[in-house]
Amino acid sequence: TPIGTRTTAAVTAASAKSERRGLMLVLSSPSGAGKSTIARHLMEQDKDIVLSVSVTTRGRRPSEIEGVHYHFIDQETFDRMRDHGDLLEWAQVHGNCYGTPKAPVEKALSSGLDVLFDIDWQGADQVAKAMPQDLVRIFVLPPTMTELAARLERRAEDKPDVIARRLANARGEISHWRDYDYVIINKDLQTSLQKAQAILYAERMKRARTTWLEAFVEELLSEEIESGG
Ligand code: 5GP
């Protein structure tokens, strides 16, 4: 399944299930720690979570698709969206502007879907202030800094100076790890994916999030027990 098949923009079809308010799952990490891969796999294996597609002023990488990985926009459009309050959060990262369009997120949440965010700590911070009760934050760490550098170079989609800048910024990003609810050290992708899934499943079952349980338990207790079973 390509990453773009279930983004917040494609929510209409699923809007029947509103008995549960969706949760917001934020994945943050320094560039190259494997967060995007974990996000993509989570999406592939779970139909109740959609990806929030950010807007960015960064140039498109060869492998990226408009509307799937990002909406690539110019600075003027970005400023207009921000000033109109169209962004749930926004931040400057590695010299470019990134932001989360608000409307698709609200639509997904109110139709009972979970929303996955690939945003940095500044964005996570803003979302935490705006909607604390719906938020679950996961930070992904590389096993070693050497491995992080190697992954950035292996990706080979960015120019050397861009890679150097991202590596230099990594330490600063990692320093925010304490703001997160969960930390995954991404040594092995399969294991990290299982961990992310376990977090998602457990968070969904939190009593405070399952408002439909009231009705379920009421019905359970009012049930006549059939004898002879
Ligand atoms: P990249 O340029 O590698 O796609 O992303 C750079 C960083 O920006 C990543 O850490 C990513 O999580 C973050 N990012 C992407 N979209 C957003 C967004 O909408 N808001 C914020 N705050 N950060 C974002």
pLDDT digits (tens, 9 = 90+) for 168-188: 899 999 999 999 999 999 999
Ligand 1, closest atom to CA 36? 12
Return the CA Rg of the chain: 19
Strand partners, 139: 28, 183
Tell how far the Cα of 137 is from the centroid of ligand 1, in angstroms: 15
Alpha helical stretches, state H, 46-158: 75-83, 102-110, 121-130, 145-155
Residues at CB less than 6 angstroms from ligand 1: 31, 54, 58, 89, 91, 93-94, 98-100, 118-120, 122-123
Tell how far the Cα of 154 is from the centroid of ligand 1, in angstroms: 19
3-state helix, strand and coil shares in percent for the chain, rounded to the nearest 5: 50, 20, 35
DSSP state of 33: S
Q: Is 105 exposed, middle or buried (0-12, 13-18, 19+ CB in 10 A)?
A: buried
Q: What average pLDDT does range 85-113 have in this prediction?
A: 95
Ligand 1, closest atom to CA 35? 12
Give the residue, out of 65, 100, 118, 167, with the most ligand 1 atoms within 8 A of its beta carbon, to mutate for a pocket test: 118
> Atom 21, ligand 1: which residue's CA is nearest?
119
3-state secondary structure of 56: strand
Tell how far the Cα of 119 is from the centroid of ligand 1, in angstroms: 5
Q: What average pLDDT does range 94-118 have in this prediction?
A: 94
Q: Is the per-residue pLDDT at 39 higher than 90?
A: yes
Task: Specify whether the CB–CB gap between 3 and 116 falls below 8 A.
Answer: no
pTM over 0.80: yes
Tokens of 211: 């408002």
pLDDT band at residue 131 using 50, 70 and 90 as cut-offs? confident
At 196, give phi and psi (nearest 5°). -60, -40
Task: Specify whether the CB–CB gap between 42 and 117 falls below 8 A.
Answer: no
Task: Specify whether the CB–CB gap between 19 and 112 falls below 8 A.
Answer: yes
CB-side neighbour CA atoms (13 Å) of 74: 1
Ligand 1, closest atom to CA 94? 6
| Per-residue confidence (pLDDT) for residue 5, from 0 to 100 | 56
Tell how far the Cα of 118 is from the centroid of ligand 1, in angstroms: 6
DSSP state of 164: H
Ligand 1, closest atom to CA 30? 10
Q: What average pLDDT does range 81-105 have in this prediction?
A: 96
At 184, give phi and psi (nearest 5°). -115, 125
Q: Is 44 exposed, middle or buried (0-12, 13-18, 19+ CB in 10 A)?
A: middle
